[in-house]
Chain A
């Protein structure tokens, strides 16, 4: 079974600054995938970025990057140059190689201030 921990319920960030969202995980699967999703106030789940456990490099997608530290079991999301539209809930999630279930953390609410 997978467990995801997001310890920051809410964060404030100034527009144009970077913000790091913490995510730690626990799994016994030898291979796994880590995902980050954004949920704006409208409610839909928007896929941001993916990191495989055997990927050698940290994933990047535009202003999003994933700081993957396998030994520490952490997969922090970094949003650079924050924009007002980044205000949302962010979820860290993972799936193991032994089943298809996507397990989620509790989420972090990010509020970007002008």
Chain B
């Protein structure tokens, strides 16, 4: 079954304690992306990756890091979490398409992060 697996689903942590949210996909998709969802703002892109070792900032990258050492994995790292990073996080993947816009996105189940 094609899927994007995010872990953990829920996480409560304290300010400043480093954490990693994992994302793994089994579809051999080149493109992977992280979003955060906040009320009234929809989903905003944090970082994305076009392929292994190729990552770039999205719209709200401050306070986050990513890496893409393998094609299937794209972890999101919060080196020193702060309360304003309390949010719902999604990993999303799709095939590279050379300009085609119809390819669908596959989302992980989401991670609800609370930083106290």
A binds B: yes
The closest CB in chain B to the CB of A96 belongs to: B101
| Distance between B46 CB and nearest chain A CB, rounded to angstroms | 11
From A4, A6, A31, A47, give the contact of B99 (CB < 8 A).
Answer: A31
By a CB distance below 8 angstroms, the chain A residues around B74 are none
Interface size on B, residues (CB 8 A): 28
Instruction: Indicate the size class of the contact surface on chain A.
Output: 20 to 34
Q: Which of B59-116 contact A (CB under 8 A)?
A: 88, 90, 92, 94, 96-97, 99-102, 104-105, 107, 109-110, 112
Given contacts A44-B107, A106-B40, is CB(A101)–CB(B45) below 8 Å?
yes
A43 to B40, CA, bound (A): 15
Which residues of A are in contact with B by a Cβ distance under 8 Å?
A: 4, 6, 9, 31-33, 35, 43-45, 47, 50, 52-53, 91, 93, 95-98, 100-107
Which residues of B are in contact with A by a Cβ distance under 8 Å?
A: 31, 33, 35, 40-45, 48, 50, 58, 88, 90, 92, 94, 96-97, 99-102, 104-105, 107, 109-110, 112
